[in-house]
Amino acid sequence: MQKDYQKTMHACFIGYIVQAIVNNFVPLLFVMFERSYQIPLSRITLLITVNFCIQLSVDLLSTWFLDRIG
């Protein structure tokens, strides 16, 4: 019996699309954040760097974890 994982695959694709939108939309607002909230650009870039490192770590750990549970 073959299992149908179409809904799971579509949910994963949608998750990646949402993740890409979130990670690419905020950098477009850097100048606005800097002016509106008086946040230095160095602090904003630090936040983005931390976000990128956390996202990369979660992606790598999830592949290992999912490989273990099947």
Q: Tell me the whole-structure pTM to 2 decimals.
A: 0.55
- Chain segment 27-39, per-residue pLDDT in tens: 788 888 888 889 8
The whole-number average pLDDT for the span 40-52 is 87
> Is pLDDT at 8 greater than 80 in this prediction?
yes
∠ CA(62), CA(65), CA(67), 5° rounding?
A: 105
Going by C-alpha positions, the residue among 28, 23, 8 that lies closest to residue 54 is 23
Amino acid at 22: V
Distance of CA 57 to the CA centre of its chain: 11
State whether residue 1 is helix, strand or coil: coil
* pLDDT computed for residue 55 by the predictor: 87
The band of 67, judged by pLDDT with boundaries at 50, 70 and 90, is confident
* pLDDT computed for residue 54 by the predictor: 93
∠ CA(6), CA(11), CA(13), 5° rounding?
A: 95
